[in-house]
Amino acid sequence: MERSRPRIPLLAILAAALLAAFAPGGAGGTTGGARPAKKSPQPVPGELLIGFKAGVSTAEQKQVLAKIGASEKRRFKQIHGALAKLRPDATAGALAQLRSDPRVRYAEPNFVVSADVTPNDPFFSRLWGLNNNGFPVSGRWGTPDADIDAPEAWGVTTGSDAVTVAVIDTGIDYSHPDLSSQMWINPGENCPGCRTDGIDNDGNGYVDDWRGWDFANGDNDPMDDNGHGTHVAGTIGAAGNNGIGVTGVNWHVRLMPLKFLSGAGTGTTADAVSAVLYAADKGATVLNNSWGGDEYSQALADAITVADTHGALFVAAAGNSGTDNDSMPNYPASYALPNVLTVAATDNSDQLAYFSNVGRKSVDLGAPGLNIYSTWPGGSYQYMSGTSMAAPHVSGAAALAKAAFPSASGVGLKALLLESVDPLASLSSYTATGGRLNVNNAVTCNGAPKLWFESPATGFDAEVGTPLTFTAIATRCADSSGVTVTATANGSPVALAARGDGLYTGTYTPTASGSVSLSVSATAGGTTRTRTITGFASGVYTIAPGGPAVTITTRAPDENARLKFDGQGGERISLKLAPVSISTSYVSILKPDGTPLVSNVFVSSFGGFVDTQTLPLTGSYRIVVDPQGTATGSMTLTLYDVPPDAAGSIAPGGPAITTTASTPGQNARLTFDAQAGQRVSLNLSGVTISNSYVSLLNPDGTSLGGSTYTSIFGGFLDARSIPTTGTYTILVDPQAAATGSMTLTLYDVPPDASATIAFGGSSPTLTMGTPGQNGALSFDGQAGQRASLKLATTISSSYVSILNPDGSVLTPNTYVGPSGGFLDPKTLPTTGTYRIVIDPQGAATGSMTPTLYDVPPDVTATIAPGGASVTVAATAPGQNARLAFDGQAGRRISLKLSATTIPNAYVSILNPNGSALASNVYLGASGGFVDTKVLPATGSYTILVDPQGAATGSTTLTLYDVPADAGGSLTVGGPSLMASITTPGQNARITFAGRAGQHVTLQLSAVSVLISYMTIQKPDGTALGPSTLVTTSGRTIAADLPADGTYSIAIDPLAAEIGAMTLTLS
């Protein structure tokens, strides 16, 4: 299963460090474990990076730029490219034009890049990454020797001033006492007086670059105004054995400061490219790159390739998002180039750092990166954490190995370091080597062959009949001389081409489906080292845009499926992936040159969809289906030839327009002209597209308000104000493979209907005749005044709210249907003018008549248990009634409500602490009853009568002091017993003794209780059967007793009923 390393436009370069945000030398804090969300890519307005094809002359390059109205801002001769400047609003069109120009190899935005940093605590022991004694760091005990064995390596070499490491970062504090003696000096600008003579003495295009260059500010002073680069530099090569501060991996080395990130931690892709090319041109052995992001740049890849041709090793931090670079690439760490060495971070116990990115195929090794102590601007020192701190350990180790083996090549250093790791269980599944850096193993190499299989990774996928290229690095220690290299494919010899620096390339063409085994052997000094990788070769399916669906099947883990199709430049395609039985997979579409057109689209067993892509050139494309883990199964792919988006025009206030998207991936676009200040709304009806998003786009293509989800039930875009005069676009974007039609009606929305209203005044009627039109009424109110609102309407659905004078919400959105609504009283918080907002929903229109009430204080009264009845009246809509009574803990009360003229209300009894004793008992015109409640505490209780909606009227309340339930006992076959219930809410409970299996008959006679319910309860308190309705006609109940014990007969009169009945048990 081969994971292609996707090549996608560079979003942002984020410094891969968890930077301590302290004052230099001061104590630091921590941000905790939360990880920030990835930022959207931000291009430099009006700038493009362009790569030209070989053979395109300078004059032709200028013609290309002139054709798009651009000028050359900077030229990159080494990569046959340029940085172009043009109008910001012309970049999108220029990109499309450039990508179809046969003279152009690539065109991409010049993205802004930035540092991504988080603090950590500084109170711990120091250089554990070089020599770990197991003492705690940041409160975490370590594991002795969980380090890179630097002291042991220093027994061989402490470095060399002949080795230069380029620190491509935020600059270096070159005045720091631990770094000043280590700084690189440009020999081409170091003649007497040359450093500051204003002349480009070495002819490299940079004036007076005697100590590096500041690409961020375009000057010759690469001083660090951030701190990150200085910290990195100290780990690589702070001066050793000088009696101050710390030491780097190298006591002696030359540090080349190349600043491309500003003090704010931002920079551009173009400046990163310039820095890499500068380092390569000036002969840096190692380039340290403690930054990264998830976007691909061809220009940066070209620059790294130039560094490779100069024999430079490019060390990159893996990233700090805790993700897998195999499936979510992080650049430059994920460039599949032979001189790129990618580093994860480990802690002082040899565990993977919690923040570190990983990659079994794309991350090479681990190195210390948590709580690393190093130099900081201003002559101070600081703790930092991140893969940014791990990378300089590897860069330093590479420089130390170069000092030990002066004839080492860049790729030779890579193979030596990767073959010298300490294997760790914690890294075995997360890095290609499964180990942590050990520099002592590297520098003590004694003529042994070192072999690294560069590509492809094990589990690769190959095509039957298509040549498979593989590369390996083979050296004697890190020297490419004195080593013999051979290779086989499935046991047959394969010829290798040597580049001359230890990199070897072979080609094998599988002839049949099945497993493929590639082996490379290196022999030096009588010792042979062999590495073998395995993959799978499969046939290639053929699929055609607009042709029939193709079903692929993978039968073995690690088996991918590939499909090919021929496409024309400018053709639009989309891809449906369903049905699918493979549990999880990634699907990519590769351009004819093998780079991704679409990278790693996740597909589950529910299927998936690749939205419309425009093919950049004519040629043969590949679709790669990559099942994850051990998943196998089938997938049906349908490749669509997507026609141009359906187009049309529509007018505000004009007729409805029906548009159809007939092919999955096809959108619809309708344009209309509008004037600044005009308001429009959009109704979406007759929809057959299962799900889509509809957006309104400004003339410049930006969104006017967010997208609106639309299903087959239709949708509506509420009124939006047009910001500027011009041509607007309605974009209908069906989701996934959905197709169908919808009818769009664009309304010219007049100003909102408005009026004034007053307490106790007339009820104005507002008419909202156009979908999207709202209504607004204003009224003057006094602080402390209580307002309620009755709403009569013909609008099918709407929301009504009341806003305070300052625009804040007094009454939140209250739903109002066609039967009207009511806003319960609110106390006005301040004197001023209030607004009532009526917002019809969707395309609803109609009228609404509000009535505003000045609600007097709630009616209050007192009532006593067992005392006289009290009548209360609520005369204004929204007015409640509150009656208070004193009660003692344990007292039993019930409440009867009669003679009620309120059509509907709720009654509650509130405890002294305001909580509910009885909650929302319904009260209608026929009255109501609150059954017996036991008072939980002594104090003042409140009865709340709350008329609903605009209801008014009166009710009479009678509060009863309920005595204990009537009691007594019966004997089977004994005399009858009369039970009397004298108070509403009082029940009766009669007991009798029974035996298991006994058959009894209960007769209820002489009943004067109008309606009641009778239940026989077993000895355990559960019901013997369902409750039985009892009226004045009496009732006879027969039952078989299930157990020995005392049974209870419970009689519960309905509501406020009282009376007596005679019970006879036989």
Tens-place pLDDT, residues 586-602: 999 999 988 889 988 99
Quote the pLDDT of residue 112.
Answer: 62
Based on the fold, state whether residues 546 and 650 are members of the same structural domain.
no
Q: Enumerate residues 6+ apart whose C-beta is below 8 A from 650.
A: 657, 670, 671, 672, 730, 744, 746
Quote the pLDDT of residue 42.
Answer: 65
Q: Is residue 246 part of a domain?
A: yes
Q: Is residue 568 part of a domain?
A: yes
Report the Cα–Cα distance between both ends of the chain, in Å, rounded: 85
Q: Which two tokens stand for residue 294?
A: 């998830």
Taking all residues of the chain, what is their mean pLDDT, rounded to a whole number? 91
Q: Is residue 5 part of a domain?
A: no
Task: Return the C-alpha torsion angle 150, 156, 162, 167, nearest 10.
Answer: -10
Tell me the CA distances in angstroms from 706 to 664, 689, 695, 722, one per residue in order.
Answer: 23, 20, 7, 14
**End position of a domain, from candidates 405, 420, 443:** 443
User: Residues of 242-272 as b/e, b for ≥16 C-beta within 10 angstroms?
Assistant: eeebbbbbbbbbbbbbbbbbbbebbbbbbbb
Based on the fold, state whether residues 771 and 868 are members of the same structural domain.
no
Range of the domain at 705: 646-674+681-718+725-745
Which element (helix H / strand E) includes 462?
A: strand 460-463
**End position of a domain, from candidates 414, 443, 472:** 443
Based on the fold, state whether residues 635 and 768 are members of the same structural domain.
no
Q: Given a cut of 80, is residue 296 above it in pLDDT?
A: yes
**Counting every residue, how long is the chain?**
1066
Q: Would you please indicate which residues are annotated as catalytic (active-site) residues? A: 169, 228, 388
Based on the fold, state whether residues 311 and 365 are members of the same structural domain.
yes
Q: Is residue 125 part of a domain?
A: no
CB 236 within 8 A of CB 167: yes
Quote the pLDDT of residue 743.
Answer: 98
Based on the fold, state whether residues 205 and 254 are members of the same structural domain.
yes
Overall domain count for the chain: 8
Q: Which residue has the tokens 């609404």?
A: 848
CB 461 within 8 A of CB 557: no
Radius of gyration of the chain (CA): 41
| Across 10-24, 122-136, 898-912, 913-927, least confident range | 10-24
pTM of the model: 0.65
Integer Cα distance of 138 and 125 in angstroms: 8
| Residue 808, amino acid | S
Helices (H) and strands (E) counted in the chain, each on its own, are: 9, 71
Q: Indicate which CATH number applies to the domain containing 1022.
A: 2.60.120.380
Q: Enumerate residues 6+ apart whose C-beta is below 8 A from 638.
A: 549, 550, 575, 576, 664, 737
| Residue 749, amino acid | V
Q: What is the spatial order of strands in the sheet that 633-641 belongs to?
A: 550-554, 633-641, 572-580, 608-614
Quote the pLDDT of residue 113.
Answer: 53
Q: Is residue 132 part of a domain?
A: no
Neighbours of 43 (CB within 10 A): 20
Q: What 3-state class would DSSP assign to 237?
A: helix
Q: Given a cut of 90, is residue 621 above it in pLDDT?
A: yes
Based on the fold, state whether residues 527 and 628 are members of the same structural domain.
no
Based on the fold, state whether residues 327 and 183 are members of the same structural domain.
yes
Q: What DSSP string runs through 23-48? A: -TTS------S--PPPPPP-EEEEEE
Q: Is residue 7 part of a domain?
A: no
Q: What 3-state class would DSSP assign to 194?
A: helix
Which element (helix H / strand E) includes 696?
A: strand 691-697
187 DSSP 8-state letter: G
H-type helices in 223-350, by residue range?
A: 228-237, 269-281, 298-309
**End position of a domain, from candidates 402, 420, 443:** 443
Q: Which two tokens stand for residue 1011?
A: 């309606």
Mean pLDDT of the region 638-660: 97
Closest CA to 914 of 939, 891, 932: 939
Based on the fold, state whether residues 277 and 381 are members of the same structural domain.
yes
Based on the fold, state whether residues 233 and 310 are members of the same structural domain.
yes
Q: pLDDT band at 41, cuts 50/70/90? A: low
401's torsion region: left (phi>0), alpha (psi -120 to 50) or beta? alpha
Q: Given a cut of 50, is residue 121 above it in pLDDT?
A: no
Based on the fold, state whether residues 982 and 1047 are members of the same structural domain.
yes
SS3 breakdown of the chain: % helix, strand, coil, rounded to 5?
A: 10, 45, 45
Quote the pLDDT of residue 482.
Answer: 92
Based on the fold, state whether residues 361 and 482 are members of the same structural domain.
no
Q: Given a cut of 80, is residue 43 above it in pLDDT?
A: no
CB 904 within 8 A of CB 940: no
Q: Which two tokens stand for residue 159?
A: 């470095």
Q: Given a cut of 60, is residue 614 above it in pLDDT?
A: yes
Percent of the chain with pLDDT over 90: 81
Q: Is residue 28 part of a domain?
A: no
Quote the pLDDT of residue 263.
Answer: 87
Integer Cα distance of 362 and 364 in angstroms: 6
Mean pLDDT of the region 1037-1052: 96
Q: pLDDT band at 371, cuts 50/70/90? A: very high
Q: Where are the beta strands (DSSP E) in 184-271?
A: 213-214, 252-259, 266-268
Quote the pLDDT of residue 123.
Answer: 31
Q: Is residue 6 part of a domain?
A: no
Based on the fold, state whether residues 322 and 197 are members of the same structural domain.
yes
Integer Cα distance of 833 and 153 in angstroms: 81
**Between 293 and 341, whose confidence is greater?**
341
